Amino acid sequence: MTRLLALLFALVSLALPARAADDISAASRSVVRVVTVAMMEGEVVGFGHGSGIAISPTRIVTNAHVVDSAVRYPNNVALGVVPSEGQKSYAAKLVAIDRARDLALIEITQGRVPPAAVYTGPLDAGTDIVALGYPGNVDLATARSASDYITPRSPVRSEGNYSNMQSVDGVAMLVHTAKISRGNSGGPLVDDCGRITGINTAITRADDGDSPFAFAISARELARFLADANQGYTSVGTGCLTMAEAEARERAALAAEERVAAEANSAREAAAKLERERRLQRAEEEALAARENRIALAGVLFVIGALAAGAGLLFYNQQKLRNAKIAGGAGGALMLLAIMVFMTRPDAHADIADAPAPDEPTQPATRTLAEGRFICTVQSNRSRITVSSADDVPVTIGKNGCVNERTQYAMGADGRWQRILVPNEEATVTVASIDPAGKEYRVERYLLDAETMERAREIRSGIEVKSCTADPARVEALATQQDAIRSALPTSPNERLVYRCQKLADGAASPATGN
């Protein structure tokens, strides 16, 4: 029954192609509208709004001036958050505020929002950037009632370039050319990988034909603010690569590894050939010496035999018949032995057996997975890192594809053992896979919209394998289900981490992991 359900889900997912994985769209999931509503005697007397970005599932960064009225008049001004997806908006409360940096941290009391990562690496002048938020001039053109301001909808994106960094009242600001307006305040400025590079806060006036520029509070200032607020967040310092660039780098890295391996094999073959030639030369020298010694021995035996035969003839002439028989018999035997020794002399040319090849690690059978404890280190030249830590990952592989003593893996269509994780709350599907030899561990993350995420959850719900199992039928059903989930995902992930794994010796300690 489970196989039929998994097959049905596979057919359904094939009929519903997934949307392309877009890093900016993925970052848009983390953008919210921040609203303030002033109330007097039960009536709305004022309304304000800006933008914000989630740095945890329940906490939002925005500008201090966006929430200033709620801070000044907490009894009369309500604070709310409107996510970019879903059907609901949520009440919020202030957690921390820094008016000097114009930053604030607020928390929603219900619901969750996919968090974004903060980019902590360097920005080069001219780097492409994107502003995300809810510009007021777009709202004026599209909003028809107050409810439009509290209805979830996608943020507006505006592309531009990073110019340079300027200090404004002692705060490091990014100057950029992405077009923003008043409602963008508190919204993120992101790079092409969708990572926060700054928080938009101000624009220049375009008087007398001057070109407008925008200012965003730098990620450096944001990091300091979050540290002061004791707020954790995900930070990534690696440069932004497209998936095509990352795949090209991976191909180049693999080609370089293959060249090194080929050169090493060639060197081993050359060394083996030289050693064989040396052994053959020594063997031929030994064979020639043995041949010469055998011929010399045959000559000595023949001469002694001839002398004995001559003595026997002499004894015969002297009528000493008994002595003649002994001498003649001994001489004949020695001469016959000499002939046998000569005829069995070794060849002057020797041959040797090839040296045995060095022991190669035994490759597992096609449908088995290597067992043991491994430590896996990320290969940055083969990875595209956008939202995750690049720390080493310990992996323990048990029997039948049981990983870390709690997660069942199954063989995928590509021959790798995999587990696709589809969480109930987070809007990210993670595909973790291991090659059968246990040498390479991969983690691919898909940052999905709500519709695609719900489709993946529906496929997952058909078969629940929450822990390891030794039942081959359930493992096979899991494999079929995971292939169905795969087909519902975009063709490319937003992030790919490639790890090189080394097996640990028995008894060796490995780092703790939260996976």
* pLDDT tens per residue across span 312-357: 788 778 877 788 788 778 878 888 888 887 888 777 676 666 666 5
Q: Is the pLDDT of residue 143 over 70?
A: no
Q: Is the pLDDT of residue 206 over 70?
A: no
How far apart (Å, rounded) are the C-alpha atoms in residues 85 and 326? 119
Domain 23-241 fold: Thrombin, subunit H (2.40.10)
DSSP 161: E
Distance in Å from the first CA to the final CA of the chain: 31
Q: Is the pLDDT of residue 13 over 50?
A: no
* pLDDT tens per residue across span 51-97: 999 999 999 999 999 999 999 998 899 999 999 988 889 999 999 99
Shortest CA distance to 8 belongs to which of 481, 486, 489? 481
| pTM, full prediction | 0.73
The three state secondary structure string of 218-236 is EHHHHHHHHHHCCCCCCEE
The pLDDT of residue 512 is 53
How far apart (Å, rounded) are the C-alpha atoms in residues 175 and 202? 10
Domain parsing of the chain, residue ranges: 23-241, 245-343, 372-503
Q: Which residue has the tokens 């848009």?
A: 28
Shortest CA distance to 53 belongs to which of 129, 110, 108, 116? 116
How far apart (Å, rounded) are the C-alpha atoms in residues 510 and 508? 7
Least confident window among 273-282, 456-465, 506-515:
506-515
The residues that bridge with 53 in the sheet, in sequence order, are 31, 61
Rg of the chain, C-alpha, whole Å? 40
Are the C-beta atoms of 196 and 141 separated by less than 8 Å? no
The pLDDT of residue 514 is 46
* pLDDT tens per residue across span 430-486: 999 999 999 999 999 999 988 889 999 998 887 778 789 888 888 889 999 998 998
Strand pairing report for 235-236 and 118-119: parallel
Q: Is the pLDDT of residue 359 over 60?
A: no
The residues that bridge with 131 in the sheet, in sequence order, are 158, 189
How far apart (Å, rounded) are the C-alpha atoms in residues 269 and 273? 6
User: Coil, strand or helix: which one is 309?
Assistant: helix
How far apart (Å, rounded) are the C-alpha atoms in residues 51 and 53? 7
Half-sphere exposure of 312 (CA within 13 A, CB side): 17
* pLDDT tens per residue across span 382-431: 899 988 888 899 999 998 899 999 999 999 888 899 999 999 888 899 99
Helical H runs in 52-109? Answer: 68-72
User: Coil, strand or helix: which one is 215?
Assistant: strand
Average pLDDT score over the chain: 85
